[in-house]
């Protein structure tokens, strides 16, 4: 390696560190301060209220349904993103003629911005002019029906998110040497045995990282609710992140919104911590 | 052999379904934006327009606020790209070319900050920029997007720089370059493809970002295209022709740019995760 001066790397890294500190760490401290004050921004007063905001959130009658909606949203999205993305990866992994073109096309939904995605699907779902209802031959209020609204949003998120699972699992599949399949075939293992005894176990490391990243992205994703349903009809599509947004910017209660986002962050960190511990234990 | 054929058939069916699922919404958005208002307001929509028209785009470009939003989006995205690549390259040089105490801590910290739940920042960022009198400005958007795109930018660039052998730089040092010159005159030019790809990643992110732009802008002064687009959806009636045309205007740069980097992006993104 080249001759070293101790200060040089730190000088090179410092602009990046400072930016991250300003935009991530400082607001993180600020949100905790705000969560023990009344409405910092709109009332212009810095009245300390202790844990009152937390008590307000704790006694908020909607919390149980928000929790259920959040779990439903995150779990349903992850399961179907995985199923669709992994299926695509398995097929493309065989590397037939044109598979690269197919892969590129399947990646498109992933880079399309949330707002274009929301508008695209609003147009598809439209109860009067939507093509989906036209093709099905009956009018369905996808986003307006309390029974269908959440699943309609899940479909959009799966559309947007499955390519991420596809590239992650495809990269994992590439690390499995082809020879072990040849050996297994000679030994008489059928395709299903090869899949469950060899493919799936080899993907453990890949899946652990992918689940973690997708969990955080999906849980935090509320642009669809903001644009398409405003958490409704009623509160059936209100997830916790959407509730933070709505408390802060619609009901203009920054104190309660800060308290809720701190609680959400603590819960997320706890879940991630437990997840990493469980996963590491299984590896031993 | 029969088993393999059955699986092959299932694969083909699954792939056709996935392709339709992934591409049909994009196809239908673009095709619908080319329909005239009579067809768009018809209760029987068709998969292919009876008559193609650019009237929706003409209507969009006749709207002065669209230009305002477009230029805001372009300025914010380009500024974010330039700064993120500059700051990111410096950091990546430090991390790829020096071994120092705290290096692996920094590398891991940058990777983990990718996972930072943005929801926690939503309220305080608004307040912080408000108190700094930078609320509703493009500069606050640029700084915020910079922080959001830096982690992956640094990660992509470190990966790219590490693949370039250090011998050439060592030779340059022997020939009388100083340390800084060896980075800017040797490493950076050699890394141009990686830097271009990282730029495109940052641009796509800044161009499409919606939620932060929504809460941090309140007028045409700083409003970006995604927020402008969202505002076109009426509570009661929506001019679908206009909305779909603007959506396509917002979508096309993303798809074109993404096409150039998808291979690099996919392989770099997964290299950390799969090996790690």
The CATH number of whichever domain residue A114 belongs to comes to 1.10.3720.10
- Domain spans in chain B, listed from the N-terminal domain onward: 63-275
Q: Is B19 on the interface with A (CB under 8 A)?
A: yes
Asked if the structure places residue A32 within a domain, the reply is no
Q: Is the ipTM of this complex over 0.85?
A: yes
What pLDDT sits at residue A71? Answer: 95
Choose among B10, B11, B21: nearest CA to A88.
B11
Query: Are the Cβ atoms of B25 and A17 closer than 8 angstroms?
Result: no
Nearest residue of B to residue A20 by CA position? B147
Q: Which residues of A touch B227 (CB under 8 A)?
A: 115
**Nearest residue of A to residue B168, measured between CA atoms:** A2
Q: What is the pLDDT of residue B242?
A: 93
Residue A185 within a domain: yes
Q: Which long-range contacts (CB under 8 A, 24 or more apart) does A22-25 make?
A: A22/B143, A22/B147, A23/B121, A23/B125, A23/B143, A23/B144, A23/B146, A23/B147, A23/B148, A24/B113, A24/B116, A24/B121, A24/B147
Q: What is the pLDDT of residue B276?
A: 36
Q: Which residue of A has its CA nearest to B249?
A: A116
Which CATH number is B63-275's, of 3.30.470.20, 3.30.420.40, 1.10.3720.10, 3.40.190.80?
1.10.3720.10
- The pLDDT mean for chain B works out to 88
Q: How far is CA A268 from the centre of its chain?
A: 12
Task: Judge whether B151 and A53 are in contact, CB under 8 Å.
Answer: no
CB contact under 8 A, A119 and B243: yes
Q: What confidence score (pLDDT) does residue B275 get? A: 45
* A89-103, A154-168, B44-58, B163-177, range with the lowest pLDDT: B163-177
Distances (CA, A) of A244 to A63, A153, B119, B170: 12, 19, 8, 53
At residue A204, does pLDDT exceed 50?
yes
Predicted pLDDT of residue A42: 60
> Is pLDDT of B273 > 60?
no
- The answer to whether B40 faces chain A, any CB pair under 8 Å, is yes
Min Cα distance B243 → chain A (Å) is 8
Is the separation of the CB atoms in B143 and B206 below 8 Å? no
Check if the beta carbon of residue B230 is closer than 8 Å to that of residue A115. yes
pLDDT cut 70: percent of chain B above it: 95
Q: B202 and B80 in contact (C-beta within 8 Å)?
A: yes
Element (DSSP H or E) covering residue A68: helix A63-92
B107 pLDDT exceeds 70? yes
Q: Mean pLDDT throughout A110-137?
A: 92
- Give the pair of three-digit tokens for residue B54: 């650019």
| Residue in A111, A170, A210 closest to B258 by CB | A111
Question: Which of A5-9, A141-145, A241-245 bottoms out in mean pLDDT, i.e. has the lowest?
Answer: A5-9
More confident site: A132 or B112: A132
* Residue A284 DSSP code: -
What token pair was written down for B94? 């430090």
Q: What is the pLDDT of residue B208?
A: 95
Give the nearest partner residue to A261 out of B122, B179, B233, using CB atoms.
Answer: B122
Is the residue at A117 inside a domain? Answer: yes
pLDDT over 90 (residue B91): yes
CB contact under 8 A, A105 and B230: no
Q: Which residues pair with A37 in a beta bridge?
A: A48
Catalogue the long-range contacts made by B233-236 (C-beta closer than 8 Å, 24 or more residues apart). Answer: B233/A119, B233/A122, B233/A227
Going from the C-alpha of A238 to that of each of A214, A230, B181, the distances in angstroms are: 19, 8, 54
pLDDT at A124: 95
Domain that holds residue A254: 62-283
Q: Among B19, B25, B144, B180, which would you mutate to test the A interface (most chain A Cβ atoms within 10 Å of its Cβ)?
A: B25
The span from the CA of A18 to the CA of A27, in Å, is 13
Taking the Cβ of residue B66 and every Cβ of chain A, the question of whether any pair is shorter than 8 Å is answered with: no
Task: Give me the number of domains chain A comprises.
Answer: 1
- Asked if B28 has any chain A CB less than 8 Å from its own CB, the reply is yes
B44 vs A1, A8, A134: nearest CB: A134
CB A123 within 8 A of CB B240: yes
* pLDDT at res. A180: 86
Residue B149 has pLDDT above 60, yes or no: yes
Question: Is B98 close to A23, i.e. CB distance below 8 A?
Answer: no
Q: Of A44-48, A166-170, B103-107, B130-134, which range is least confident?
A: A44-48
Within 139-198 of A, beta carbons closer than 8 Å to B belong to 159, 162-163, 167-168, 170-172, 175, 190-191
> Quick check: A105 and B262 CB within 8 A?
no
User: Confidence band (pLDDT; 50, 70, 90) for A7?
Assistant: confident
A44 near B CB under 8 A: no
A283 against A129, higher pLDDT: A129
Closest residue on chain B to A24 (Cα): B121
Rounded CA gap, A22 and A261, in Å? 19
Chain B residues in contact with A224 (beta carbon < 8 A): none
Q: B10 and chain A: CB distance < 8 Å anywhere? A: no
To the nearest whole Å, the CA of B190 is away from the closest chain A CA by 18
Per-residue pLDDT at B181 = 82
Q: Pick from B267, B234, B95, B138: which is nearest to A103 by CA?
A: B267
Distance CA A220, CA B148 (A): 14
Query: Is the residue at A276 inside a domain?
Result: yes
Contacts of A229 in chain B (CB under 8 A): none
**Contacts across the A-B interface (CB distance below 8 Å):** 287
Q: What percentage of chain B has pLDDT greater than the value 90? A: 47
Mean local confidence (pLDDT), A218-229? 94
CA B234, chain centre distance (Å): 27
The answer to whether B157 and B198 have CB atoms below 8 angstroms apart is: yes
Q: Judge whether A52 lies within some domain.
A: no
Indicate yes or no: CB of B270 within 8 angstroms of CB of A226: no
Token match 């596809």: residue? A166
Q: Where are the alpha helices (DSSP H) in B114-239?
A: 119-131, 138-162, 167-174, 179-181, 188-190, 192-208, 211-216, 225-231
Q: Which of B120, B202, B213, B244 to mutate to test the interface with A (most CBs of A within 10 A)?
A: B120
Is B37 an interface residue toward A (CB < 8 Å)? no
């Amino acid at each position: 390696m080249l001759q070293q001066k101790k200060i040089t790397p730190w000088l090179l890294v410092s602009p990046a560190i400072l930016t991250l500190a300003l935009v991530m760490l400082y607001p993180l401290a600020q949100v905790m301060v705000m969560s023990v004050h009344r409405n910092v921004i709109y009332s212009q007063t810095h009245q300390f209220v202790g844990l009152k905001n937390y008590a307000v959130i704790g006694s908020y009658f909607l919390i149980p349904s928000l929790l259920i909606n959040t779990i439903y949203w995150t779990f349903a999205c992850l399961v179907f993103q995985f199923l669709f993305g992994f299926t695509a990866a398995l097929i493309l992994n065989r590397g037939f003629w044109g598979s690269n073109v197919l892969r590129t096309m399947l990646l498109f939904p992933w880079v399309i911005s949330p707002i274009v995605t929301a508008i695209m699907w609003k147009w598809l779902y439209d109860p009067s002019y939507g093509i989906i209802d036209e093709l099905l031959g009956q009018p369905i209020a996808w986003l307006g029906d309390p029974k269908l609204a959440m699943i309609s949003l899940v479909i959009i998120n799966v559309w947007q998110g499955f390519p991420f699972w596809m590239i992650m699992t495809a990269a994992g599949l590439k690390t499995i040497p082809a020879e072990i399949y040849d050996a297994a075939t000679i030994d008489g293992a059928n395709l299903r045995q090869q899949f469950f005894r060899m493919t799936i176990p080899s993907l453990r490391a890949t899946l652990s990282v992918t689940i973690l990243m997708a969990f955080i992205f999906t849980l935090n994703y509320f642009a669809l609710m903001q644009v398409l349903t405003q958490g409704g009809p009623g509160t059936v599509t209100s997830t916790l992140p959407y509730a933070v947004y709505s408390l802060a910017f619609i009901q203009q209660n920054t104190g309660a919104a800060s308290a809720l986002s701190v609680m959400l962050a603590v819960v997320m960190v706890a879940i991630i911590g437990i997840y990493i511990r469980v996963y590491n234990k299984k590896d031993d | 052999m029969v088993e393999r054929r059955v699986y092959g058939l299932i694969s083909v069916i699954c792939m056709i379904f996935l392709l339709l699922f992934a591409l049909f919404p994009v196809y239908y958005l673009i095709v619908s934006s080319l329909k005239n208002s009579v067809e768009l307001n018809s209760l029987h929509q068709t998969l292919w327009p009876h008559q193609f028209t650019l009237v929706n785009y003409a209507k969009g470009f006749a709207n002065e606020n669209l230009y305002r939003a477009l230029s805001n989006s372009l300025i914010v995205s380009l500024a974010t790209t330039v700064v993120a690549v500059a700051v990111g390259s410096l950091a990546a040089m430090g991390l790829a070319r020096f071994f120092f105490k705290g290096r692996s801590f920094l590398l891991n910290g940058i990777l983990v900050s990718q996972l930072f739940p943005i929801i926690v920042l939503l309220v305080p960022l608004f307040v912080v920029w408000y108190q700094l009198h930078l609320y509703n400005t493009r500069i606050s958007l640029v700084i915020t997007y910079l922080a959001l795109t830096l982690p992956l930018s640094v990660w992509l660039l470190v990966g790219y720089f590490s693949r370039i052998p250090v011998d050439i730089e060592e030779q340059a040092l022997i020939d009388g370059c100083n340390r800084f010159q060896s980075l800017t005159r040797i490493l950076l030019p050699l890394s141009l493809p990686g830097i271009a790809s990282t730029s495109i990643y940052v641009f796509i992110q800044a161009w499409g970002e919606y939620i932060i732009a929504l809460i941090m802008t309140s007028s045409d002064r700083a409003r970006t295209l995604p927020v402008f687009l969202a505002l076109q959806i009426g509570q009661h009636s929506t001019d679908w022709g206009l909305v779909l045309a603007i959506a396509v205007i917002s979508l096309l740069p993303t798809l074109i740019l993404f096409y150039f980097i998808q291979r690099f992006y996919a392989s770099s993104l997964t290299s950390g995760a799969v090996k790690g």
